Structure 1
Amino acid sequence: MRLLGRVKGEKEAFTFHAFLQKEGIGGSFEPAEAEDTFNIWIMNEDEVEQARHWFEEFKKNPEDSRFDVKVHPIDREGIAKGSDTKPKGIAVPRLQRPRPAHAPMTRLIILICALLYFWNGYQLAGLAKEKSGARFFNLTPLFINLCYDVPATFPLLVKYFQEHPLENPKGLENLEKNDPEYKMIEETPNWVGFYNIILEWPKKSKDIDAPMFIKLRQGEVWRLITPCLLHGGFLHILFNMLWLWLLGRQIEERIKLWQYLLITLIIGIVSNTAQYLMSGPLFIGYSGIITGLAGFIWMRQRQAPWEGYPLNRGTLIFLMVFIFGMLALQVISFILMRTGAVEFPMNIANTAHITGAIVGALLGRIPFFARGKL
């Protein structure tokens, strides 16, 4: 099924729909979001071009005699008066209008992300003034409490620098060489992800035996989702929130609020966990959920185009180009670093992007998340 276009007024929508029926073109119409506007749908992809030709002609002159299809006079009168009576045999789905575009949950998420961004920035500024050498790692208390997991060495480093203040980051190199206590901390295994372990293969990485899911096993389950709410820079949060405003509203307006929240949680938890397994715990950002929402909308457009998700093909193509472009750079980075040609690390959560898109598309196939009464 393909959306052909929109017309003003129910009478015009019915007139054109009846004409299409006379021409043997299957379709339907439904109320659009705008007041007194109706979407025209074509059932068969093979008939879209023919229908588009007639639609252009109809827009030029709706009163053209070619479109004056003879219907029962009572039915025509009913349409003129706005009655719900329709000629028998013509299926016209009357879907409920979307919830007005207030999108409270999307707005709340954007607000939370913004507040956490400024809070983290405030803590970073305070961290720079501390005497402790821990400031050289730029890990704020907020980040430590909300990231997916805490590296096993971090508590040891905090304690060490409280006892041995360090004024200059260059002193870290001397510590690695001359301080047995610091060297022992550095050699403690940390989970850094399969990506870094594969980079070192065939040499066995000490980190392969590192403890995993430390904080989650201690009951701090909020960490499954909270990395999504943190952002590292202004452009990072700006673009993520713009995408969330574009995509999140479309979904929130068409399904129940708790269903929208459930989709967000599922995508976030799965994409975060996949990213943790691939790269370790030091990742942040909402982009895994963003690609998941895009994947969900794409699948709903294919499964049930009458639900009216207005995300155009160009936007989806742009997102796919971005995701696979970043993946291509990651592959290049891996090859360069694996061969020892150059250090070219990619600090982009590609695993979260791809996993999020896949999970979102899979959720979009589930009828449970179909548009219904709000």
Structure 2
Amino acid sequence: MRQLGTLAARHAERFAAAVRTRGIATDLRPEADGRVGVWINNEDQLAAARHEFEAFEAEPTAARFDSPPSSVAVDEIPSQPTKPGPLDRGPAWRRLPVTCGLIGASVVVCLALWFGNEWPGNEFGARTRQAMSIASYQIVAVQGLPRPEWDGLNDIRSGQIWRLVTPIFPHAGPVSLHLPLNMAWLWLLGGAVETVRGSWRLAMLVLVSAIASNLAEYYFDFGFGFDLANGLKSDVGLNPNPLFLGMSGVVTALFGFIWMRARLIPRSGFMMPRDMVVWMLIFLLACVAGMFGPIANVAHGVGLLTGMLLGAAPRLWRGA
């Protein structure tokens, strides 16, 4: 199901009745601003429906849109859709399989990571962390401090390509809010993308943004902080490190994707409140400033840019 756009209430019923005679089924849903949202039920008819909608917007009184009046007047449209919408059909794991799968995988990996070493004689948690990292490593003491030691990205070059993606699943914890916050954002943003664009497109967006943000975070550090003893300090530059984890790069990519689609393609079916944009950008800047401790700032930034580029791609392509 996809939204074509919105019309004045007096025009929405006329358009729906006209395209119904052409075999195109629509849903009419009241919007908060008093207009009526027009939704197409069958995405196979999307191109034809958009053509009709654009023609109607250009000339709503054209004779081609004359048709017998519908038995339901516009002002009688219920405040809730009479048909179940895309968020109302069946259990969540059927409606949003990719979103639920990502959340489930993250929870399972984190439970193994956090509690896998509690069983006597078992180092399952440590092995899970090694398997999920972008590179296998050992912790060694350097001048009395623990440091990772690893052999670059040779694991990936030898065929372990899953390591390009799997760092998104482990999270800090269990007392940290890292996992619940990322999963809440994933449910909200990933669910929106999967509802509007479908499971395969969400899966591809997650795959591309995970690879981009993981590689960027592996190779680069970026952040600023301030303490009373040393004043302003920075950590910027090329500094490979396999010790990063979390879904944040994917979450910021989903945010950037929805933001650009809602802003540049109003009929895309997405919406992004301005307040949410402001608070997300404030949060990302606070992370860069070191207010929340060690943060994968490069993954955040690259994920955001990746999502924005993919979200703006249709408009950029048409404008090229």
TM-score (norm 2): 0.63
RMSD: 4.2
> What's the counterpart of residue 360 of structure 1?
307
Do structure 1's residue 116 and structure 2's residue 109 form an aligned pair? yes
CA contact (8 A) 1:6 1:38 kept: no
> What's the counterpart of residue 147 of structure 1?
133
- Between structure 1 and structure 2, the one with the greater Rg is 1
Aligned-partner Cα distance in 1 for 2:6–2:278: 21
Aligned-partner Cα distance in 1 for 2:264–2:217: 29
CA contact (8 A) 2:5 2:266 kept: no
Q: Aligned to 1:366, what secondary structure does the other structure show?
A: helix
Do structure 1's residue 232 and structure 2's residue 172 form an aligned pair? yes
Of 169, 187, 203, 1:245 maps to: 187
Q: Where do residues 256-267 of structure 1 align in structure 2 (5 Å cutoff)?
A: 256-267=198-209
Of 183, 192, 197, 1:255 maps to: 197
Do structure 1's residue 349 and structure 2's residue 296 form an aligned pair? yes
Aligned-partner Cα distance in 2 for 1:222–1:72: 56
Aligned-partner Cα distance in 2 for 1:72–1:123: 68
Aligned-partner Cα distance in 1 for 2:7–2:61: 22
- Count residues with an aligned counterpart: 244
CA drift of 1:366 comes to 2.2
Aligned-partner Cα distance in 2 for 1:228–1:75: 51
CA contact (8 A) 2:112 2:125 kept: no
1:270-314 CA distances to partner (integer Å, 9 max, x unpaired)?
000001112510111001100000000111112211112133121
Aligned-partner Cα distance in 2 for 1:72–1:305: 24
CA drift of 1:260 comes to 1.3
> What's the counterpart of residue 219 of structure 2?
277
Do structure 1's residue 327 and structure 2's residue 267 form an aligned pair? no
1:328-362 CA distances to partner (integer Å, 9 max, x unpaired)?
227xxxxxxxxxxxxxx942111100110001111
Q: Aligned to 2:263, what secondary structure does the other structure show?
A: helix
> How much identity, in percent, do the aligned residues show?
28
Of 27, 37, 42, 2:29 maps to: 37
Change (3 A) 1:314 1:115: same
1:123-162 CA distances to partner (integer Å, 9 max, x unpaired)?
1324xx669xxx8xx97110011111123x45xx6xxxxx
Of 283, 301, 321, 2:262 maps to: 301
1:220-269 CA distances to partner (integer Å, 9 max, x unpaired)?
11010001011112421111110001000111112232221111000000
Aligned-partner Cα distance in 2 for 1:74–1:81: 20
Change (3 A) 1:37 1:242: same
Q: Aligned to 1:365, what secondary structure does the other structure show?
A: helix
1:21-57 CA distances to partner (integer Å, 9 max, x unpaired)?
xxxxxxxxxx99xx641559xxxxxxxxxxx7xx59x
Q: Counterpart amino acid of 2:301?
A: I
Change (3 A) 1:75 1:358: closer
CA contact (8 A) 2:259 2:271 kept: no
Aligned-partner Cα distance in 2 for 1:324–1:144: 30
Q: Aligned to 1:125, what secondary structure does the other structure show?
A: coil
CA drift of 1:12 comes to 6.6
Unmatched 5+ stretches in structure 1: 17-30, 41-51, 57-69, 84-96, 158-171, 178-182, 192-210, 331-344
CA contact (8 A) 1:228 1:286 kept: yes
CA contact (8 A) 1:11 1:80 kept: no
Aligned-partner Cα distance in 2 for 1:250–1:79: 34
Q: Where do residues 122-141 of structure 1 align in structure 2 (5 Å cutoff)?
A: 122-126=115-119, 140-141=126-127
Structure with more of its chain in strand, by fraction: 2
Aligned-partner Cα distance in 2 for 1:11–1:329: 53
Aligned-partner Cα distance in 2 for 1:122–1:5: 51
Of 294, 311, 314, 2:272 maps to: 311
